[in-house]
Amino acid sequence: MERTATGIKGFDNLIEGGIPEARSVLVSGACGTGKTIFCMQFLYNGAMKYKEPGIYVTLDERPDLIRQDMLRFGWDLRKIEDENMIQIIDGSIAKIGLPSEEEFSMPATGFDVDKLLLEIMRTAKRIGAKRVVIDSIPALGFNFQNDQDVRNAILKLSYVLSKIGVTTMMTTEVSEDSGKFGKYSIEEYVVDGVVVLHYMGIGTRSNRTLHIRKMRATNHSEELHPLKITDKGVVIQKVDEEYGDV
């Protein structure tokens, strides 16, 4: 099976070298767990290490703020956007009917999953994209009336993106103590893989961890792994490895 390496230090060796090609993975966690960094690192590494163009669809945060935040890790998104190695599609304000100042965005005349897919497919063809990130499912669900509509939208996204040959990460928000893997408790059944990020307080210390709940067609680690956010991005550590300088 062909696999898409994430290039995230310590992660790929937990999933037989990478995510099965053209599959979808849900990255789930509460606020502050590192979901956006994890997914952007997947795209950035794809562009810089593997020469695989990628698309980042933002439905929550404005693209200019994302670019600013990622500079903290030395990731100059604007530069590789100009090189057509990453393209950001702005859907963050289309949901409320306002136009975006971004070159690539959802139309302010109305937001639906078909328009989103059309924009992704156009961009994927133009830059030869191999990777896609959709951030986030709850923001997508804002446009639907019930959970079944959300499920159908995620099914359509997963199916169409798989058919055009891109490997996809989608983020979703859950509270730390909910015991759920998705906001709607349906996302995890639709996608091919589920990666759960935790942010736990132990005494006076807070620790981030990663758990691979599911990864189809993959012999993956089932342990809880320490996750550290460094000045170079996310690092996944071994279970018995102490936190320290990376």
Q: For 167-217, what is each residue's pLDDT tens digit?
A: 999 999 887 777 778 777 788 988 999 999 998 766 556 689 999 999 999
What is the predicted pLDDT for the residue at 97? 62
Q: For 71-108, what is each residue's pLDDT tens digit?
A: 999 999 999 999 999 999 988 876 656 666 676 566 65
Q: Is 41 helix (H, G, I), strand (E, B) or coil?
A: helix
CA distance 99 to 90: 10
Q: Which two tokens stand for residue 83?
A: 């090189």
Name the DSSP class of 33.
S
Helix axes 63-70, 35-49, angle to 10 degrees: 70
User: Does the structural domain 3-236 have CATH classification 3.40.50.300?
Assistant: yes
Per-domain residue ranges for the chain?
3-236
- Phi and psi at 21, nearest 5°, equal -60, 140
